[in-house]
Amino acid sequence: MHADDLTATAELLCAAGLLEQGCVTPADALLEPWARLHGVVAAIEGVAHVDGHALALRLGLTPRFPGRLPTVFVLDARLHGRIPHVFQHGHVCYQEYEGVLLDRYQPVAVAREALARAVETIRRGLTGENRADFIEELALYWPGAAEGLGFFAADAQIQPILRFVLPWAGTFAFVRDRAQARELLVAPMPLRVPEVMAPLEAWFDDTVTPGLYIPLEDVPRPPDPFPLGPWTRAQVAQLIRHNLSDGQRRRLEQLTRGLKTRSTFVILRVPRPRGGDHLVGIRYDDIRGAHPLARATGSATMTQFRVERRDPGYLVPRGGGEPPLRAKRVLLVGCGAIGGHLAGELVRCGVGHLTLVDPDVLRPENAYRHVLGAPSLFVLPAKSLQLAAEIQQRYRGVEVSGLAASIEDALDQGAIDVTRYDLVLSATGDPNVDRGLNERLHRLEHRPPLLFTWLEPLGIGGHALVVQRSSPGCLDCLFTPHPLDASPVLTNRAAFAAAGQVFTRELAGCGNAFTPYSSLDALRTAELAGRLAVEVLGGRLRETLLRSWKGDGAAFHAAGLRTSPRYEMEASALERGGADVVAAGCKVCGGR
Amino acid sequence: MTILQTEFNKFNDAIRLGWDNEEARLRERRDAVIDRIRERMGGPSFSHFNQGSYELRTGVKPVNGDYDIDVGLRFNTTRSEWPDPVALKQRVVDALSGYKVELRRPCVTVYYQRRNEPLYHVDLNVYVPAETEGMLHLAVGKVGDAAPLKEWRFTDPLALGAALDTTFAADDREQCRRVIRYLKRWKDSNFPAQGNAAPKGIGLTAAALQWFTPARERDGVANRVHHDDLKALSGLVWAMLAHATPRLVVKLPVPPHDDLFRRMSEQEMSIFVAKLGELDEGLRRALADADEGSASRTLREFFGEDFPAVTSSPTARRIGAIVSSGSAG
């Protein structure tokens, strides 16, 4: 909205009686910092009655109003920072913008409701009802700048941690130990030879500072009065000591004994009343005498700072992943178009350990359907190794390893022990490899769930089958004709393509045959398999189950290919999946 | 447990009258006969229609080589104009002079022979319309019959086909037809062709209409339904035996509602029921047999050599060991 129009809107709001003694804020006031900071170009001010008090308020409009919320300010400076959600310049944070839908055709109604919510926020602050919100939003109230990235696992134990300078980021990194620091330092290095490693180790030694990670158990009450601006050493010490268990207190005393450095730091974990937690930091410099948190005399300067969290324990749930999957180990066989997408998605879902097995190198022909794109012009590592390195670099704290071998060789040579995994997932798309794997694993007494995924040509569909010990059926059941089938042929019963057709194409001569499908087909199949994998790993699915997605068939039919009776089934039923995979007479599982 | 569906399918292919071979020749004979009657008879006019197993599509190749086709001739006249049904049949016989033709009690039969062996015969059923829409009167009786044996019998020759169509859904109907064919071949292989010793084909058909239950299984993955003919046939034979108390009475489900096995003597009936019992026992034995080879040999005892003997293992019978997978990853 244009500034003139906004002024007109402001007049309209005044006329609507939103505030007592309401008037339009003079133009020169709109040049002050409060207005510039919040992009306010028009405002009204007046009085509202809150819990018996008459409070002067201001309602500011930005050019995007009413497509954006108006800003509300408390003009009484004594309240600034005194009650939760009232910040600098009296800015009242009465509503998160995320997830809000505004009635863009009713500016007066939007402003009236915004004001009502702001007044309610102030009222709860004045009565002390929302005092816990200081803790709920501690990171917002914690003074100081962001000083680094936290990579260590923020768990329940008080422990020593380290801080060092990340050379290329120009910021601090907070890590569990030297090994984790080394992992971060070498990540961008193409070669890990001693010539590269030695200077990095030296850099670490030069910049490292020991510190402590202290997870508070619970903070039932915020300090009273709540510190406005920088806290004192005593206030910080009190917050820590009042919110530790006896055991933690003893451990803290042990760990603060005999401090030898002049500088140290503490990263505090503060649980939020409504779930989740904050990490906030305290830096101590010029330490003389004992550790500033020890029960002994000494002096130090104290600076508060904020931490940007990079630990998977925080990032995984924030990204919609499942924290319990951190402990799960997945063996992914096949790093092609489906496997490439799957590897990344499994990690993003929270899987903490991934082993990738594929002997092939990335081929330029598949650049437009592989997650890694075109191969490098210089080196051609196997897809499994390249993919593992890519994921490892993007997702710290996840264990990803690659093995450039066929699964048959890896098993024959003992390079892989499948019983060490919680799920074996095959995305080779090669039914012969998959059937071999199915038979091999079926013989094992303690075999993990086995998930096969593959797609069919020209966007006709894709499938994911999970085979689990607790219910009958296996992959070979799909290749076992129904006993009553009067004309049995060798085919996959799950196929959408009718049996007896040829689907591969050739761009050149021998060895160039390929199956036509797109990256989107692979992505959709990977999604189907990924969701199934997460359900299995999460323990929510314990039966053998086949799920499929089917495409519109336009390209498939246009190519003169025929679909099977299965393709006629409802798409929703196919995606929901069927457990009736088992076939009597299956040579691997015997239909049991 | 044995299934042998592949063998039953082959057996069905071997015994069924196909459009492209025997039936085509039968059609030619039929058309020649009808053209001849139209040319020579000089009224009343008529229209013709197929009936019997030809119309029901339950026909089987005869063991002795004597193929037959049932044709209905619907004359545009009335009972009152032809009080003697045999007189009208005689006009048909007269029109066919030069053919080997016989005026039999239910119909007029035209024979084609080679060296005195019957090759084909065409049964001509003579009808006049009944007062009820769609119903007919069949001319019954032969020359020399006493008056009570000559009659215009009220009937609906197409009702059996209509009943088959309405009783079962498409694939089940086909299984019913196959099972009827199996029974008819069993009848041809196990009973003398002459006289009333053999159960009538129409009787077996009506029994199937009454007691056949489809046997099938759905493959939920492939979204296909597979039929189990051995089980369906065994079920039908069991049901027929259960109703033989002691005579098996199967009535035409439409007027005149005759018992279709009424002409069998007590002795003929008891032989029929005994053989049905043997068939029932044989089918059950085959069903329970774990060995497909011996199960197929059991079935060949009842159905003859058109039922294929299983000699190789089932895996070897599957075709196409190298096929296009259509899978990728």
B325 touches chain A (CB under 8 A): yes
Nearest CA-CA partner of A496 in A549, A573, A545: A549
Instruction: Name the residue in chain B with its Cα closest to that of A427.
Output: B329
A481 touches chain B (CB under 8 A): yes
pLDDT exceeds cutoff 90 at B325? no
B328 and A457 in contact by Cβ < 8 A? yes
How far apart are the two ends of chain B, measured CA to CA in Å? 38
The distance from CA A252 to its chain's CA centroid, rounded to whole angstroms, is 31
> Distance from A550 to chain B by nearest Cα, in Å?
14
A500 and B320 in contact by Cβ < 8 A? yes
A503 and B326 in contact by Cβ < 8 A? yes
Q: How confident is the model at residue A268 (pLDDT cuts 50, 70, 90)?
A: very high
The confidence score (pLDDT) of residue A229 equals 81
Considering only the beta carbons, identify the residue of B226, B227, B328 that sits closest to A429: B328
B327 and A483 in contact by Cβ < 8 A? no
Q: How confident is the model at residue A231 (pLDDT cuts 50, 70, 90)?
A: very high
Establish, for the pair of chains A and B, how many residue pairs have beta carbons separated by less than 8 Å.
Answer: 114
Pick A406 or B66 by higher pLDDT.
A406
A497 touches chain B (CB under 8 A): yes
Instruction: Name the residue in chain B with its Cα closest to that of A561.
Output: B326
The confidence score (pLDDT) of residue B257 equals 86
Pick B4 or A592 by higher pLDDT.
B4
Q: Where are the beta strands (DSSP E) in B221-273?
A: 224-227
Q: Where are the domains of chain B?
A: 5-15+160-311, 22-156
A50 touches chain B (CB under 8 A): no
Least confident of A230-239, B111-120, B316-325: B316-325
The confidence score (pLDDT) of residue A225 equals 75
Chain B residues with beta carbon closer than 8 angstroms to that of A492? 325-327
State pLDDT tens for residues A381-420.
899 999 999 998 899 889 999 999 999 999 999 999 999 9
B316 touches chain A (CB under 8 A): no
Contact A338, A529 (CB under 8 A): yes
State pLDDT tens for residues B109-161.
999 877 776 678 899 999 999 988 888 999 999 998 888 889 999 888 888 88
Instruction: Name the residue in chain A with its Cα closest to that of B230.
Output: A484
Neighbours of B177 (CB within 10 A): 22
The confidence score (pLDDT) of residue B21 equals 66
Question: So what's the architecture of B22-156 in CATH?
Answer: 2-Layer Sandwich (3.30)
β-partners of residue B110 are: B101, B122
Considering only the beta carbons, identify the residue of A339, A432, A502 that sits closest to B324: A502
Can you list the pairs that B214-219 forms with residues at least 24 positions away whose Cβ atoms lie under 8 Å?
A: B214/B168, B214/B171, B214/B172, B214/B175, B214/B176, B215/B175, B216/A484, B216/B171, B216/B172, B216/B175, B217/A482, B217/A484, B219/A482, B219/A485, B219/A493
A546 touches chain B (CB under 8 A): yes
Mean pLDDT of chain B: 90
Chain B residues with beta carbon closer than 8 angstroms to that of A475? none
Chain B residues with beta carbon closer than 8 angstroms to that of A483? 3, 5, 226
* B interface test, pick of A371, A465, A484 with most B CB neighbours within 10 Å: A484
Domains B5-15+160-311 and B22-156 agree in fold: no
Q: Taking residues A549-569, report their average pLDDT.
A: 95
B221 and A517 in contact by Cβ < 8 A? no
B324 touches chain A (CB under 8 A): yes
Class of domain B5-15+160-311: mainly alpha
What secondary structure letter does DSSP report for A400? E
Tell me the pairing of strands A159-166 and A450-456: unpaired
> Distance from A559 to chain B by nearest Cα, in Å?
14
Three-point CA angle A441, A427, A496, nearest 5°? 105
Cα torsion through A471, A472, A475, A481, rounded to 10: -150
Residues 6+ away with beta carbon under 8 Å from A528: A453, A462, A463, A464, A547, A548, A549, A575
State pLDDT tens for residues A488-535.
889 999 999 999 888 877 655 566 677 889 999 999 999 999 999 999
The confidence score (pLDDT) of residue A364 equals 85
Q: Which of A85-94, A230-239, A453-462 has the highest mean pLDDT?
A: A453-462
Nearest CA-CA partner of A569 in A461, A455, A457, A453: A461
B217 and A484 in contact by Cβ < 8 A? yes
State pLDDT tens for residues B207-259.
999 999 999 999 999 999 999 999 999 999 999 999 999 899 999 887 778 89
Domains in chain A, please, with CATH? 3-130 (3.10.110), 139-310 (no CATH), 316-576 (3.40.50.720)
Considering only the beta carbons, identify the residue of B226, B227, B321 that sits closest to A490: B321
Instruction: Name the residue in chain A with its Cα closest to that of B5.
Output: A486
Instruction: Name the residue in chain A with its Cα closest to that of B315.
Output: A488
B280 touches chain A (CB under 8 A): no
Give the whole-angstrom CA distance, residue A367 versus residue A121. Answer: 55
B327 and A491 in contact by Cβ < 8 A? no
B327 touches chain A (CB under 8 A): yes
Instruction: Name the residue in chain A with its Cα closest to that of B9.
Output: A486
> Distance from B288 to chain A by nearest Cα, in Å?
15
Instruction: Name the residue in chain B with its Cα closest to that of A578.
Output: B221
**Main-chain phi, psi angles of A291, to 5 degrees:** -60, 135
Q: Which one-letter amino acid corresponds to residue A278?
A: H
> Distance from B50 to chain A by nearest Cα, in Å?
31
B321 touches chain A (CB under 8 A): yes
Residues 6+ away with beta carbon under 8 Å from B130: B136, B137, B154
The confidence score (pLDDT) of residue B312 equals 62
Instruction: Name the residue in chain A with its Cα closest to that of B221.
Output: A494
Cα Rg of chain A, angstroms? 31
> Distance from B162 to chain A by nearest Cα, in Å?
28
A495 touches chain B (CB under 8 A): yes
Q: Where are the beta strands (DSSP E) in B130-197?
A: 136-140, 151-155
Q: How confident is the model at residue B314 (pLDDT cuts 50, 70, 90)?
A: low
A486 and B5 in contact by Cβ < 8 A? yes
Chain B residues with beta carbon closer than 8 angstroms to that of A504? 324
A90 touches chain B (CB under 8 A): no
Give the whole-angstrom CA distance, residue A202 versus residue A199. Answer: 5
State pLDDT tens for residues A505-515.
765 556 667 78
Q: Give the DSSP H/E element, type plus range, for residue A592.
A: none
pLDDT exceeds cutoff 60 at A555? yes
Pick B303 or B324 by higher pLDDT.
B303
Mean pLDDT of chain A: 91
Considering only the beta carbons, identify the residue of A486, A495, A581 that sits closest to B6: A486
What secondary structure letter does DSSP report for A226? P
Q: How confident is the model at residue A457 (pLDDT cuts 50, 70, 90)?
A: very high
Q: What is the ipTM of this complex?
A: 0.77
Instruction: Name the residue in chain A with its Cα closest to that of B8.
Output: A486
Cis peptide before B246 (omega within 30 of 0): yes
Tokens of A365: 């022909």
Nearest CA-CA partner of B273 in B181, B214, B265: B265
Q: How far is CA A443 from CA A436, A440, B300, in A?
A: 11, 6, 41
Instruction: Name the residue in chain B with its Cα closest to that of A465.
Output: B221
The confidence score (pLDDT) of residue A507 equals 58
A500 and B220 in contact by Cβ < 8 A? no
Chain B residues with beta carbon closer than 8 angstroms to that of A431? 325, 327
For CA atoms B283, B284, B288, B289, the dihedral sign is negative
pLDDT exceeds cutoff 60 at B317? no
B321 and A491 in contact by Cβ < 8 A? no
Q: How confident is the model at residue A374 (pLDDT cuts 50, 70, 90)?
A: confident
Task: Show which of residues 228-257 on chain B sit within 8 Å of chain A, judged by CB atoms.
Answer: 228
Chain A residues with beta carbon closer than 8 angstroms to that of B224? 482, 485, 565-566
Pick B115 or A281 by higher pLDDT.
A281
